[in-house]
Amino acid sequence: MASIAQFGVLDRQTTNRERWMTFAALFLFGFTASCNLFKASPTLSYIGADLGLDAGGLGLIMTFYSICALVMAYPGALIMRKVGVKAMVVASCAIMVLGTAVSALSSGSGMFLFGRAVEGVAYGLICVCGPNILPRLFPRKQMGIAVGVWSQWIPCGTIIAFFLAPMIFDATGDWRGVWYVSLALGVLALILLIVLVKMPKVNENEIVDGNADVVVKHGKQFFGSALAVCIVFMFWCYLYLVNINGMYPTFLQEVKGMSVFDSSMLPNWLAIITIPVGIFAGVISGRFPIRKWTLVVAYVVVGAIFFFLAFTPGTDAASSWAFCVIMGLCASFVPTYTRGIVPVFCTNSFKCDMALGTMAFVTGLAQVAAVVASMSVASIGWFANAQYVCAPLALVAAFCVLVLVKDDRKVVALRAEEDRLNLVEAGVAVDPEPASDRVPSPASAPDGAVASKA
């Protein structure tokens, strides 16, 4: 197992170019897995007609994918710790390619759904492994931009799926054409992972400021805050992935009278807005520790737009356009800042892995709960579901982050001080104020003594 774990590990630290080439291969794998999730949506009816699936069977096409992703969240994090990063991502991508090939070549619904389940396993693995790899690969000063770009893997996959799947289907006249193109993407991702992925001799989250000679001595871990912000992310996934990505096109067709193409393109503009703004959000988070308060504000805004704009009655589409623009801005910050705040709270790699594993788990859990959203809409209608279910969930999320999550500004200051002390202890930096000259705090002064400077 130790030899497998060393697959792709260099005998030195990675260069900046090697880090970003590794990241590029991982990102291609990630958005291909995301594309695989959504590629079925535009051609569901044709798949059902070809394979003999009824309405319930069509629902299983998405559900099988999500359930397997849910199941693999925690095992994926633990397995990667044993077999290493490169072996894990190469094996995961190979599993994805196998699943896509099985579905593409299937002649019956059973084999097709089996292939979807296999694809879902790979999706679950990259869901948890992708974010967990970043703190190992990038020094803390680069984590903002790295997380900002990585968090666009689902929007990129969504855009590619909803733009290209209808075009490929029109060109080939067969839903399998969509699968063959995604199969080619998967094979390309697998080749690039084998060729490009390189990991440093010592993980960046185990050393100080990129200096492999200074091993970090982990200070206080804020695992409770990390776990809380990741669990709250489930509300976001339920609102965004289920109610918007999954159900909004249907609402636009039924209530706003849009065509199938227009109803798919409007949510796509949400994703298009998310990508550049999300990268910008990652950049500024590396300079200004504002993640907690931005999350609180974003969840409040999401609650407001679900209440007033998202699923309004009548054929006027202005409210839907306004909703998608504002939701796109919020989608730029919520996933990016949720993923980015966890390595700040937990410098210990195991606790960080478990927290981010929880984030992957609740992502799958929210997607499996799509049936609940469908039942809610069927029972009380689009508008009431938005006002009395979705909006309150967003406000609950804002309250939980406000109360349960520590301010990252204070934690960042603490981490900077921990790094400084580690460098001083290793003899790499000079302490500007020797311990003998330091004024002891009242808490550290002997009982009955007054802290004074000699």
pLDDT in tens, 340-353: 999 999 999 999 99
Helix H segments across 346-381? 349-368, 370-380
- How many CB atoms sit inside 10 A of residue 407's CB? 14
Among the ranges given (127-136, 322-331, 418-427), the one the predictor scored with the smallest mean pLDDT: 418-427
Count, residues in the chain: 454
The Cα–Cα gap between 78 and 128 comes to: 10
pLDDT at position 407 over 60 = yes
> For position 442, what pLDDT does the model report?
42
pLDDT at position 451 over 50 = no
Q: Who contacts 304 (Cβ-Cβ below 8 Å, separation ≥6)?
A: 391
Among the ranges given (16-30, 35-49, 193-207, 214-228), the one the predictor scored with the smallest mean pLDDT: 35-49
Helix H segments across 288-407? 291-305, 318-345, 349-368, 370-380, 382-385, 391-404
Q: Which amino acid, residue 216?
A: V
- Give pTM, 2 decimals: 0.86
Q: Which range has the top average pLDDT, 117-121, 206-210, 258-262, 329-333?
A: 329-333
The Cα–Cα gap between 263 and 252 comes to: 6
Please give the structure tokens belonging to residue 427.
């003899």
Q: Are 268 and 158 in contact (CB under 8 A)?
A: yes
3-state secondary structure of 214: strand
The Cα–Cα gap between 32 and 77 comes to: 20
Q: Are 355 and 227 in contact (CB under 8 A)?
A: yes
Q: Who contacts 316 (Cβ-Cβ below 8 Å, separation ≥6)?
A: 256
> What is 216-426's CATH topology?
Growth Hormone; Chain: A; (1.20.1250)
Domain ranges of the chain: 1-203, 216-426
> For position 454, what pLDDT does the model report?
31
Helices (H) then strands (E): counts for the chain? 20, 2
Residue whose C-alpha is closest to residue 407's, from 355, 335, 341 = 341
> For position 139, what pLDDT does the model report?
92
Please give the structure tokens belonging to residue 319.
């409210």
- How many CB atoms sit inside 10 A of residue 423's CB? 17
Please give the structure tokens belonging to residue 452.
């004074």
Please give the structure tokens belonging to residue 248.
């909004």
Q: Which CATH class is domain 1-203?
A: mainly alpha
pLDDT at position 322 over 50 = yes
Q: Are 367 and 69 in contact (CB under 8 A)?
A: yes
Mean pLDDT within 287-291: 93
Mean pLDDT within 126-140: 92
3-state secondary structure of 207: strand
> E strands of 295-426, at which residues?
none
pLDDT at position 181 over 60 = yes
pLDDT at position 445 over 60 = no
- Provide the pLDDT confidence category of residue 447 given band limits of 50, 70 and 90: very low
Please give the structure tokens belonging to residue 206.
């185990």
3-state secondary structure of 211: strand
For residue 314, give the DSSP letter. Answer: S
Domains 1-203 and 216-426 share a fold: yes
Helix (H) or strand (E) holding 99: helix 85-105
